[in-house]
Structure 1
Amino acid sequence: MGKVNLKQRQRKRQRRKVKRKGAFEEKKQQAVEELEQHKQLVEQTLRDEKEQELEDCRTTIMIYDSDLSDPADGPTSLGAGSFGVVYLKRLRGANNSYVACKVVDSAARRADLRQEADLLARVCHRHWFPVLFGWNLDVAQPFLVQEFVSCPAGTRTALTLTSAMKHPAEPLLLKTLDFVLILTEVARGLVYLHGARILHNDLKHDNVMVTTRDKRIIAKIIDFGSACHAEQPAKFHVPTGMSTHIAPEVANGGAVTRLSNIYSYGRLVQDVEAVMKTGYPCMNQIATACFSPARADDRPDIEPIIRLLETAGH
């Protein structure tokens, strides 16, 4: 009888042990599920905040001809191309500051200008890109108005990376390391663009503006006329030998990708090193890694490139 009671007690203890273990596992699973729900809630909140941030950036102002005026010496063109003309203007709603006004030649280009404005609006709150003030698509010659990246600030002069390489002493007294810093800023801007699911597709030294803020060198990527959504990659007609900064797969009729933009960045680095001869080993290393591989998939990501550039001068 004693042995039977002992076995019964052992079985009861075992059942209680199993029950407690089951309850513990149930609570553990419940905690895991609650943690996962909390994680999903946080991620959704971050997505909502990001979308709201982008929506706020897209809230730009309708600008009319009466809001704009020419400089004191009359109409001034900053550049022209197949897209139309960019003029230097003053914007009354921005303390009469100088702005760049891009005018397309016909209403037929309205959709192109709308996409350009939409893409720039998504990122223009970051210092790597010009501020978008507004647009007007409801006129015979639609236009958008964006920041005129002046150098020095507040003047009507501007400095492209092309000009900076030709005349590094004017007006910023740029040193060789400063050009590495400029390329680092461009790379960070490219990372941000790709994170926003935007492809620039026309990265070259003419489309990089150089200025300063609080004695710090700033590089801004301009001209979103060829940009597109990453989910809707574009194709371009590229005349043979005319655009060395365009990736070969794109020049051969393929669609643009993040990797084709990295190819263009490599060409940008190569151009800077060819002219400025910085002597930093990372420059040729980066350029070669970006445009030498036969396969686009073998090109590097931008983040390791930034880390390499940050080692220059140390």
Structure 2
Amino acid sequence: MKAYTANTERYEKMEYRRCGRSGIKLPLISLGLWHNFGDNDDYANARGILRTAFDNGITHFDLANNYGPPYGSAEKNFGKIFKEDFARYRDELIISTKAGWDMWPGPYGNFGSRKYLIASLDQSLKRMGLDYVDIFYHHRPDPETPLEETMGALDQIVRQGKALYVGISQYSAEDTAKAAEILRNQGTPFLLHQPRYNMMDRWVEDGLLDTLQKVGLGSIVFSPLEQGILSSKYLNGIPEDSRAATEGSYLDKSQITEKVVRQVQHLNEIAKSRGQSLAQMAIAWLLKDKRVSSVLVGVSRPAQLKDNIGAIQNLDFRQEELDKIEGILKS
């Protein structure tokens, strides 16, 4: 690939939304590097996805210590691409990473201890070639480590200059409120929560979104397409080259039932009537709620990312459409 210069009109192609009560605005669409950035993936394609993202105003790239495979390889490959293409744009980017899932053997490479979180971020910074990340998350709740220890580690990381803001992922509403109180008392810049949320997975509606609004946090939601179910991929069942058909996939074939296929087909009809792809409508449906600061998408190719970005062209829903969607999902 030739030397990269970003599209000069990139900020005209994206909308940005304030993240809770912070000074940060996030793009409505953010790019996640969970899949397609590992050592077994096409490096040129990964580089093309990142370029396409920034050229279209996506300023937020989201990683984690164990993204790959193998673990750490997404951060390593991102670091190479960052050095080649994005180093001069560093101050225009929000780069995040996380720790909380298993990363290395033994008792100190998992969950939420001070030792694990601080050591993991040190490793992540080395892999990416960065002095700091903009956001560092605790990737999942730890049922055994005291919340005060985990939040204290996040506070220390900010005070060491290794992260500008901190976040959490998949915490309950109750634990989110507790974490917010601890971090507020410490004076730690607590920015946002990253929950799983889509039309078919609605757990955040049972109190979490209300809690985020109350304590002034933003939210960046992942798995907006339910691992591809809310796209055109499964309209006629399970294709041989799909994620559900791949051994070791995070999406189980058993999830693609006749009922799910029927629901997706009906949802697709509504999307077409709105002039959108099903994926675009699923993303727009999330963004209709202003408590959602950004939707985190993962894509396998640049064209797929461009389609996802197209969702922001129509974020308004008539009540009739919303009622039809609810009826389909309950059928």
Verify same fold: TM over 0.5. Answer: no
Greater RCO, CA 8 A, separation 6+: 2
Greater per-residue helix proportion: 1
TM-score, length-normalised on structure 1?
0.22
TM-score, length-normalised on structure 2?
0.22
